[in-house]
Amino acid sequence: DVVMTQTPLSLSVTPGQPASISCKSSQSLFYSNGKTYLYWFLQKPGQPPQLLIYEVSNRVSGVPDRFSGSGSGTDFTLKISRVEAEDVGVYYCMQSTQLPRTFGQGTTVEIK
Amino acid sequence: EVQLVESGGGLVQAGGSLRLSCAASGFTFSNFWMSWVRQAPGKGLEWVANVNQDGTDKYYVDSVMGRFTIKRDNAKNSLYLEMNSLRAEDTAVYFCARDGVPLWLHWGQGTLVTVSS
Asked if residue A23 lies in contact with residue A72, where contact means CB atoms within 8 angstroms, the answer is no
Asked if residue B77 lies in contact with residue B66, where contact means CB atoms within 8 angstroms, the answer is no
Q: Which residues of B32-51 are buried (b: 16+ CB within 10 A; e: fewer)?
A: bbbbbbbbeeeeebbbbbbb
Sequence-ordered list of residues with C-beta below 8 angstroms from that of B18, at least 6 positions apart, any chain: B8, B9, B10, B12, B83, B86, B113
- Listed by number, the residues of chain A in 78-97 with a beta carbon closer than 8 Å to a beta carbon of chain B are 92, 94, 96
3-state DSSP of B28-53: CHHHCCEEEEEECCCCCEEEEEEECC
Whether chain B has a CB inside 8 Å of the CB on A102: the answer is yes
How close is the nearest chain B Cα to the Cα of A43, in Å? 10
Whether chain B has a CB inside 8 Å of the CB on A101: the answer is yes
DSSP assigned state of B99: -
pLDDT digit string, tens, across residues A9-26: 999 999 999 999 999 999
Asked if residue B86 lies in contact with residue B115, where contact means CB atoms within 8 angstroms, the answer is yes
Position B86 scores a pLDDT of 98
Position B1 scores a pLDDT of 95
Q: What percent of chain B has pLDDT over 90?
A: 98
Whether chain A has a CB inside 8 Å of the CB on B108: the answer is yes
Whether chain B has a CB inside 8 Å of the CB on A60: the answer is yes
How close is the nearest chain A Cα to the Cα of B14, in Å? 25
Question: How large is the average pLDDT for residues A56-71?
Answer: 98
Position B62 scores a pLDDT of 98
Question: How large is the average pLDDT for residues B49-71?
Answer: 98
